[in-house]
Structure 1
Amino acid sequence: MPVIIELALPATEFQLGQILATEGEGKITLKTMVPLGGRSVPFFHATDHVREKFEARVRDHPTVSNLYVVSSHNAETLYGLDWKMDTEGFFNSVLTVDGHILEATGGQDTWVFQIRFRTHDALSEFQKDCFESDIPVDIRRIYNPTKPDAGPWYGLTAPQRETLMYAVEMGYYALPRQISTQEIANEFDISDQAASERLRRAIDMLVANTLLLTASDT
């Protein structure tokens, strides 16, 4: 039975957190980690107000071979990162048991992760590895989203949930469409791009934590 864990981890306690450390109120959102040629390539969003110093600091890190811009829109930039990942540590503990990072956000001090494991045994192995490796994870909750009482929002953040519910209620997914993405953006005082991305991520999270989990049990 698949299970999801939500945990917090100091940025100084794992390699990618050290690489992507920001100053002040800057935030980094990890979008995904794509396995390519035996390595995991992170893709992440950074707010533009941290961009110049942030890029220079990341490129100067000894484990980074390349930092590149995938896209940039309004006040956010999407980056890809080539790096030499530790053979030990937090990410290795996740990957060893085939864990999948659903969402991660962090900055100068703390990162918060939502990670899906295929079984409770895999989660136990991950927790054991963290304990034996002195990785100070702060477990906030563990739940199985296929159970009605395991967590009502299936991993969606409050903004994702509110935006998706508003879009459905106002007829964004109706035929013909009753409201535009720009009108949704205006409701939440965000950009059109941000509204589209929030809806995309909300649907991706909802499907990953319901339909895909259920399918993996059959």
Structure 2
Amino acid sequence: MSTIAEFSIPIAEFALSETLERQPDMVFEVDRVVAHDTTHVVPFVRATQGDFGELTEILEADTSVEEVELLANVEGESYYRMVWINRAEIIGYMVAEQGATVHEAIASDDEWHLRVFFPERRGLSATNDYARENGFTLDVTAIYGLGDLEEAQHNLTKQQYDTLTTAVERGYYDIPRGTNAKELANELDISHQALSERFRRATKNLVKNSLLVDEDEED
């Protein structure tokens, strides 16, 4: 049975930990991952927030990055193609050995948050075993059947879903507001930047899956 799993990995155990130590406000989002083996992972990465002035040089100095190519700078966002080595092997194992697809991978607030599609449920179990045997802390936060995720959560991650529902419950969308962004971020134990990113991604997913459901047919 196909399975979608959401889990987190401490940044210290994964790729770009050195970059994020020097640029703690930066948020990295992986758009696509290619892996032909466990040792070399090729992600296409979008960087937001933080200081972009020396980002490319910082990435080049990161020991988890073998290659880095700046593809574009667009309205306060930078797009990169990278080759990850060393600590990215858990992703290489999922993609190359288990045929998994990384739907989302976001680094913020000392963790990488991932949503991964496994063609077979046993691929998730094998990944858990691999993580344990190789010293990775893999914290699985949610497991969905493919239909459950699409129908029940409009393609939202658990973090996005929890953020939106908490915001509604606390009156963030009320007029006047019952809470502000700083208070909401404190309650969720995340930074203001991470809260803003979650709102933006969640809103985009809701619009695409609820209001643009016929987009492909119209095209």
TM over 0.5: yes
Residue 68 of structure 2 aligns to which amino acid in structure 1?
L
Three-state SS of the structure 2 residue aligned to 1:12 is helix
Three-state SS of the structure 1 residue aligned to 2:57 is helix
Label 1:119 to 1:150 Cα distance change in 2 as closer, same or farther (>3 A). Answer: farther
Alpha-carbon distance, 1:52 to partner: 2.3
Work out the CA distance in 1 between the residues paired with 2:208 and 2:129.
Answer: 37
Q: Verify the 8 A CA contact 1:93 1:130 in the aligned structure 2.
A: no
Is 2:25 the counterpart of 1:25? yes
Alpha-carbon distance, 1:7 to partner: 0.5
Label 1:109 to 1:92 Cα distance change in 2 as closer, same or farther (>3 A). Answer: same
Query: Partner of 2:47 in structure 1?
Result: 46
Query: Partner of 2:7 in structure 1?
Result: 7
Label 1:74 to 1:28 Cα distance change in 2 as closer, same or farther (>3 A). Answer: same
1:162 to 179, 183, 206: 206
Work out the CA distance in 1 between the residues paired with 2:88 and 2:70.
Answer: 28
Label 1:162 to 1:91 Cα distance change in 2 as closer, same or farther (>3 A). Answer: closer
Label 1:71 to 1:109 Cα distance change in 2 as closer, same or farther (>3 A). Answer: same
Q: Verify the 8 A CA contact 2:25 2:50 in the aligned structure 1.
A: no
Q: Verify the 8 A CA contact 1:104 1:112 in the aligned structure 2.
A: yes
Query: Partner of 1:116 in structure 2?
Result: 117
The C-alpha deviation readout for 1:117-141, integer Å capped at 9, x for no partner, is 1101111111111122221111110
Alpha-carbon distance, 1:11 to partner: 0.6
Is 2:86 the counterpart of 1:86? yes
Label 1:21 to 1:128 Cα distance change in 2 as closer, same or farther (>3 A). Answer: same
Label 1:66 to 1:174 Cα distance change in 2 as closer, same or farther (>3 A). Answer: closer
Where in structure 1 are there 5+ consecutive unaligned residues?
A: 178-218
Q: Verify the 8 A CA contact 1:101 1:116 in the aligned structure 2.
A: yes
TM-score where L is the length of structure 2 = 0.65
Residue 117 of structure 2 aligns to which amino acid in structure 1?
R
Work out the CA distance in 2 between the residues paired with 1:99 and 1:9.
Answer: 17
Alpha-carbon distance, 1:19 to partner: 5.2
Work out the CA distance in 1 between the residues paired with 2:152 and 2:27.
Answer: 26
The C-alpha deviation readout for 1:97-131, integer Å capped at 9, x for no partner, is 22211101113611100011110111111111112
More displaced 10-residue stretch of structure 1: 125-134 or 115-124: 125-134
Query: Partner of 1:58 in structure 2?
Result: 59
TM-score where L is the length of structure 1 = 0.66
The CA RMSD over aligned residues, in Å, is 3.3
Q: Verify the 8 A CA contact 2:6 2:141 in the aligned structure 1.
A: yes
Residue 59 of structure 1 aligns to which amino acid in structure 2?
E
Label 1:164 to 1:86 Cα distance change in 2 as closer, same or farther (>3 A). Answer: same
The C-alpha deviation readout for 1:150-184, integer Å capped at 9, x for no partner, is 84324465222333257539x97896x9xxxxxxx
Q: Verify the 8 A CA contact 2:105 2:115 in the aligned structure 1.
A: yes
Higher helix share: 2
Where in structure 2 are there 5+ consecutive unaligned residues?
A: 161-201
Work out the CA distance in 1 between the residues paired with 2:63 and 2:146.
Answer: 39
